[in-house]
Amino acid sequence: MSFFSLLSLLLLTLFFTSCQKDEAAVTDSQQLTFRDPQSFAYSPDSVGVGDSVLITFDLGNDADCGHVQIQVSGPDGNGWHGGQPTTPDSGIATLVFVPDSPGEYEVRAKYTRTGKPSSCDFESTKWLVSQDLILVGGAEEGDSTSMDTCDSFFTGEVVTCDSSARQVVFTYVSDKDLNHLKIQGGLTNGVQGDVEVVVTGADLDVEQKTPGHSSNRVIILTGSAAACDTIMITVTWTSTNAGDTITGDWSATGGLGVDPLVCE
């Protein structure tokens, strides 16, 4: 075989090898799915006291299951005021907000997957704070619209669930001022030592009980609550129980309840 024949054969081999690599790269790229970042939008983003602002939170994942919470924090320094958890529509959730005083307002949101992964396989998020502020100008004399209007709700979610460490977070909001608030629930058997209970958003007394000679634990929280304030209860403990169900039923004033929480 001549030198030119060998050279032609070598060039042809290199050409086909390069094409195969390009096709493989395209195939690998087509198999990847990319998640868009979450985003916030306000309509309008600059208003006066008493005007309505439509807050839109885009999860970027087209979810139509689970819960989204959107909350606003104003210049009064009283913390986050929140909307009731809602089911997103194609990854979109909204909240209508009416400011009651001039200043700058921050917005945050989070998504919580609910149910079994087979029916809702989107990833839960932590609280995501918008980089953009809602700017509210002064009100005309006599305008006294209030933002303290909300619906009562009570939710729970599992944060940590490994071989022994457990952590769950309950969120409670009342639609009216409460002088006598009671939140109560249990942890399944296998609890080791003292349970750590941290409450934010209210000053609540915490009591722990061990029924009979069991290793279960009953947590009772009592106190008062202001209308529309978000109360978060973080419960942390260790357990020898390898079962998936880690809490019992929880209840709260207003006829609200949370079903047993399950590790997934």
Q: Find where tokens 């006599």 sit.
A: 142
pLDDT over threshold 50, residue 78: yes
Spatial contact of 185 and 249, defined as CB atoms under 8 Å apart: yes
Give the pLDDT confidence of 115-150 residue by residue, as tens digits.
778 888 888 888 899 988 888 887 544 444 444 568
Average pLDDT of the chain is 81
pLDDT at site 19: 45
Q: How many CB atoms lie within 10 A of CB 248?
A: 18
Mean pLDDT of the region 66-88: 84
1 pLDDT band, cuts 50/70/90, is low
The region of weakest confidence among 51-60, 71-80, 248-257 is 71-80
CATH architecture of the domain with residue range 39-137: Sandwich (2.60)
d(CA 209, CA 200): 22
44 upstream amide cis, omega within 30 of 0: yes
In sequence order, what are the residues at sequence separation of 6 or more whose Cβ sits closer than 8 angstroms to the Cβ of residue 7?
none
Lookup: tokens for 110: 């989070």
153-258 — its CATH code? 2.60.40.740
pLDDT at site 2: 53
> What's phi and psi for 28, nearest 5 deg?
-60, -40
Nearest of 178, 180, 181, 179 to residue 170 by alpha carbon? 181
Which of the two residues, 214 and 36, has the higher pLDDT score?
A: 214
pLDDT > 70: percent of the chain: 81
Which amino acid type is present at position 79? G
Give the pLDDT confidence of 13-64 residue by residue, as tens digits.
544 444 444 443 333 333 322 334 578 988 877 788 888 888 999 988 888 9
d(CA 157, CA 166): 11
In sequence order, what are the residues at sequence separation of 6 or more whose Cβ sits closer than 8 angstroms to the Cβ of residue 200?
231, 232, 234
75 pLDDT band, cuts 50/70/90, is confident
Identify any residues that bridge with 219 across adjacent strands, giving them in sequence order: 185, 208
pLDDT > 90: percent of the chain: 34
Which ranges in the chain are annotated with CATH 2.60.40.740?
Answer: 153-258
Which ranges in the chain are annotated with CATH 2.60.40.1930?
Answer: 39-137
